[in-house]
């Protein structure tokens, strides 16, 4: 519209008031929109963590993601962490907490909800993994291809796994025979089967509920990743460390999928950037480093007994673990196919690690 036509309209008294009103409304709208664009608040997400933010699990699995997103996403996306069970301490309740909107993201231990994550048993099979890296990478890739049931309503930021858990007790434990009749905490039902076959009396219990049970005499000891032995007081109560690797403990950092889908596209891209294999690598590298230091510390403590199982005990345990995997795979076609898929994925992880190690060897 030209200036002359605007003047013509304004000259007509019948149109003047309505046109001026439209102009005023348009000006007000423009004025209101400008500050909204300039001062828009970032999307804020609540993250629930059931224990201290000084714990190894927080430092290795949660903090790298939170720090990366909050740094790069300044003005776009902000994650507020509620540690020490501020939004809920009971591990079994955490998946529902996320789905009900109490938290947008939570650090969840799937072994505490086997009915919700039934396929996680394949990751928990004893004797399958050698370390946190290969377990975390295999678990991450299984989740990425939707091979595991129970994850449909979640966006999985991180699928992590500890190193194989070892046995820590108040009672002297120098051999498999010493496990007999000991009441030992297990992370999940799969690990409990292994402990029972080795002669112990397993009790599946949440990590943060274990130390009080040992203190009360309900438990003699616990399977715990060495890296996390001192996180919640278990190491303070146990001085006999039998380093028989059993099952890894799967751990996850998960977001309500509906919350994720509602994020702006650039915020979704940011979350994806620091999820998956990136998160698994950050976790496993830091986790294994802490584990090595913890082993050195307990070896240096004269008040502690640290025992590497004999070759005979190792052989007995491995036969037991293989029978558990075979029984699990034989229970259904689905289980058998899932174990084959897991073993194939693990083989690729190991091949890549071997190739990397060869490439790092200096040429003569």
How far is the C-alpha of 245 from the C-alpha of 318, rounded, in Å?
A: 10
- Give the domains, in start order, of the chain with CATH numbers: 43-163+249-289 (3.40.190.170)
Classify burial at 207, counting beta carbons within 10 Å of its beta carbon; exposed 0-12, middle 13-18, buried 19 or more. buried
Among 118, 117, 85, 115, which Cα is nearest to 103's? Answer: 85
By the 8 A CB rule, do 48 and 88 touch?
Answer: yes
Phi, psi of 39, rounded to the nearest 5 degrees: -120, 20
- Is the pLDDT at 63 greater than 60? The verdict is yes
How far is the C-alpha of 258 from the C-alpha of 281, rounded, in Å?
A: 26
By the 8 A CB rule, do 260 and 193 touch?
Answer: no
How far is the C-alpha of 121 from the C-alpha of 342, rounded, in Å?
A: 11
pLDDT tens for each residue of 96-151: 999 999 999 999 999 999 999 999 999 999 999 999 999 999 999 999 999 999 99
Question: What pTM was estimated for this model as a whole?
Answer: 0.86
- The Cβ-side half-sphere exposure at 248, using a 13 Å CA radius, reads 27
How far is the C-alpha of 156 from the C-alpha of 278, rounded, in Å?
A: 12
CA 185 to chain CA centroid, Å, is 20
pLDDT tens for each residue of 257-279: 999 999 999 999 999 999 999 99
């Amino acid at each position: 519209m030209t200036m002359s036509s605007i003047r013509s309209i304004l000259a007509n008294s019948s149109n003047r008031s309505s046109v001026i009103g439209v102009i005023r409304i348009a000006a007000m709208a423009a004025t209101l929109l400008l500050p909204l664009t300039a001062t828009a608040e970032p999307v804020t997400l609540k993250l629930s963590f059931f224990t201290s933010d000084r714990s190894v699990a927080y430092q290795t699995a949660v903090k790298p993601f939170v720090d990366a997103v909050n740094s790069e996403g300044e003005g776009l996306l902000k994650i507020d962490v509620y540690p020490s069970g501020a939004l809920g301490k009971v591990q079994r309740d955490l998946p529902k907490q996320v789905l009900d909107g109490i938290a947008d993201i939570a650090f969840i231990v799937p072994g505490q909800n086997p009915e919700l994550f039934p396929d996680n048993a394949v990751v928990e099979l004893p004797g399958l993994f050698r370390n946190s890296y290969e377990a975390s990478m295999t678990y991450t890739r299984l989740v990425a291809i939707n091979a595991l049931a129970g994850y449909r309503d979640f966006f999985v930021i991180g699928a992590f796994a500890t190193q194989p858990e070892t046995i820590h007790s108040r009672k002297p434990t120098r051999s498999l025979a010493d496990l007999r009749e000991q009441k030992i905490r297990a992370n999940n039902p799969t690990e409990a089967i292994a402990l029972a076959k080795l002669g112990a009396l397993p009790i599946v219990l949440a990590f943060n509920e274990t130390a009080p049970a040992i203190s009360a005499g309900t438990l003699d000891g616990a399977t715990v990743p060495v890296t996390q032995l001192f996180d919640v007081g278990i190491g303070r109560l146990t001085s006999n460390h039998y380093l028989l690797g059993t099952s890894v403990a799967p751990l996850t950092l998960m977001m309500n999928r509906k919350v994720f889908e509602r994020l702006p596209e650039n915020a979704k891209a940011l979350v994806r950037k620091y999820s998956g294999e990136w998160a698994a690598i950050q976790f496993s590298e830091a986790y294994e480093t802490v584990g090595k230091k913890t082993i050195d510390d307990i070896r240096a403590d004269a008040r502690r007994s640290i025992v590497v199982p004999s070759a005979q005990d190792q052989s007995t345990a491995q036969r037991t673990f293989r029978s558990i995997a075979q029984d699990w795979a034989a229970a259904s076609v689905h289980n058998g196919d899932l174990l084959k898929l897991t073993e194939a994925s693990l083989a690729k992880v190991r091949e890549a690690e071997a190739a990397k190690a060869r490439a790092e060897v200096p040429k003569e």
